[in-house]
Structure 1
Amino acid sequence: MKNFVFTGLILLFSVTASAQVYKWVDEHGKTQYTDLPPPPGAARDGQRLNIKPVPAPANNEASKSKNPADERLEFNKRQEQRKEEETKQLAKAEENKKKCIDAQGQVRLYTDSPRLTVPDGSGGIAYVDDDVRQKKIAEANKAVAAFCK
C-alpha cells in the first residue's frame, strides 16, 4: 500500500519534460538554435520551438541481450562457418588452377602441332582436319578464359 501511494504521488507531481528551443538568425545570416532566448540585436525575431521528448523505446524481448555463453556459441559457430567457406574457396581455387594449366596445355598442343592425331576408337589413329582443330582451339581458349583468372 505504501508503494502504491508513493507511486501515485510521483505520478501526480511529475511534469512532462519539454525542452524550450529558440530559432533565430544572427547578424551574419546564419540560423541559430539555442536553449536561450535570442539576444536583443538578432537580425530577425526568434521563434520559440516546442520540442517534445522522444518516448523511450518499448522494452521487448528482442532488444534484450542474450546470455554471454549463448553469444559466444553463436560467434564460434559463425567462425566455423567462415572457415569452412574459406576452405571450400581455397579448394576451388586449387582445382581451377589445375584446370587452367590443363587448358593452357591443350591450347599449346592444338596450336603448336602441325598435324594432330586422335585415337579412332578401333585401336587406330585418325588425323584431325583443320575445322575440328579450330573448334578444339576455341574450346581450349574458352577453358583458359574460364579457369585462368
Structure 2
Amino acid sequence: MRIFVFTGLIVLFSITVHAQIYKWVDESGKTQYTDVPPPPGVAKEGKKLNIKSSPISGDHEPNKSRNPGEERLEFDKRQQQKKEQDVKQQAKAEENKKKCIDAQGQLRLYTDSPRLTVPDGAGGIVFVDDDARQRKTADANKAIATFCK
C-alpha cells in the first residue's frame, strides 16, 4: 500500500513540475500570475512565461557528462594558460619600459645637444640639420607616447 501512495505522490509532483505560468493584468490594473490562461475578455496582453517549477539539476550541458578528474584537468589547463598570459604581459611591459627609456634618451639627445652628429652609413659622420632634428624629436615624442604609459 505504501508503494502505491509513494508512486501517486511522485506522479502528482511530476505533473506540477511541467505546469505553465501565465501573467496578465485584470480590469483593476493588478498583475495576476496563474497556471491557467487568462480569461478572453480580461487580458489585453497576456504573456506565457517560461518558468520552470523545479531547478535543473546537474551540469549546464546535459549531453556532456564530466567527472571531477576531467574538471580538474580543465581547471589546471585554464590556470596554466592564465600564467602564460601573465608572463607574456610582464615581458611586454618590460620591453615597453626599455623602449620608453630609449625613446626618452633619444629625445634628450636631440633636444639638448647643440651640434649633433650622426653616422652617415658609409663610415663618415654628418651634422644633423634643424629639419632632421625636428623629425627625430617628433618620432621620439611619438615613441614616448606609445611606450611610456
Identical positions, percent: 64
TM-score, length-scaled by structure 1: 0.63
Decide whether aligned partners of structure 1 residues 20 and 83 sit closer, same or farther in structure 2, where only a CA change above 3 A counts: closer
2:26 corresponds to: 25
- The answer on 1:84 being equivalent to 2:84 is yes
Unaligned runs of 5+ in 2: 1-6
CA contact under 8 A between 2:103 and 2:141: conserved in structure 1?
yes
Decide whether aligned partners of structure 1 residues 25 and 130 sit closer, same or farther in structure 2, where only a CA change above 3 A counts: same
Please give the secondary structure, in 1, of the residue aligned with 2:33.
Answer: strand
Q: Distance in 1 between matches of 2:77 and 2:70?
A: 11
How big is the alpha-carbon RMSD for the aligned residues of Structure 1 and Structure 2? 3.9
Q: Which amino acid aligns with 1:91?
A: A
CA contact under 8 A between 2:110 and 2:133: conserved in structure 1?
yes
Please give the secondary structure, in 2, of the residue aligned with 1:63.
Answer: coil
CA contact under 8 A between 2:27 and 2:42: conserved in structure 1?
no
State the shift of 1:21 in Å: 6.4
Q: Which amino acid aligns with 1:99?
A: K
1:27-52 residue CA offsets vs partner (Å, 9 max, x unmatched): 4x21312359xxxxxxx868xx999x
